[in-house]
Amino acid sequence: MKSLLLLMIVMTGAQSEQERRRLKNAKILDFVWKNCGGPDDPAVMKTLDLSPDPISIPGDLSASASASTSVELVAPLPLNVTIEKEVAGFWVKIPCVEDLGSCHYPDACDLLNQLVPPGQDCPEPLHSYGLPCRCPFKAGSYSLPQSDFYLPNMDLPYWLTNGNYRLQGALGSQDKELACLKVALSIHSD
């Protein structure tokens, strides 16, 4: 769940109209993830299953996930995101441009509030399953049963289409790492 949220946050960053490219008839291939934190990180992703493979945009996505945290996750939650793109066989770090790319975000809770403003119900199916979509996240286990989503066309910067990508997100608090997640995927669009 957290890796999906992280991917959504990265894909919805601010950008000018001329730098956007409508991602239509795109495929996300070879999606893999893993925890990258230390053995004592309090927050971990336990499972994340996505289908079909490849994932079509626009199109239907089926997802299930489970995660746990042994501590309450409260603001501020600094988030460091690193995105790399494979170019000619080398991995190149994408710089932070207009809050998109390899960026430091002072508070992931603020990002969540931008996606789902306070006072609004969490989107489905999170609402139906009683799953939170904004801070604080109480200590405990979270589980999203197999659920269906529709992925609409997306606007992405021209430099973030077609290619192989690696993304790492590290969540912290008071100079301590709370969670770390790595995602690798390929994007191919018309």
Structure confidence by residue, pLDDT tens digits, 9-24: 334 333 344 344 445 5
Residue 124 CA to its chain's centroid (Å): 17
Structure confidence by residue, pLDDT tens digits, 63-113: 999 999 999 999 999 999 999 999 999 999 999 988 889 999 999 999 999
Q: What percent of the chain has pLDDT over 90?
A: 72
How many C-beta atoms lie closer than 10 Å to residue 8's C-beta? Answer: 12
User: pLDDT at position 15, please?
Assistant: 37
If you average pLDDT over every residue of the chain, what do you get? 86
162 is written with which tokens?
A: 């077609």
Residue 133 CA to residue 123 CA, distance in Å, equals 8
Residue 5 CA to residue 86 CA, distance in Å, equals 23
The model's pTM is: 0.82
Confidence of residue 55 (pLDDT cuts 50, 70, 90): very high
Structure confidence by residue, pLDDT tens digits, 109-127: 999 999 999 999 999 999 9
Spell out the domains of the chain, with CATH numbers in brackets. 2-188 (2.70.220.10)
30 is written with which tokens?
A: 């070879």
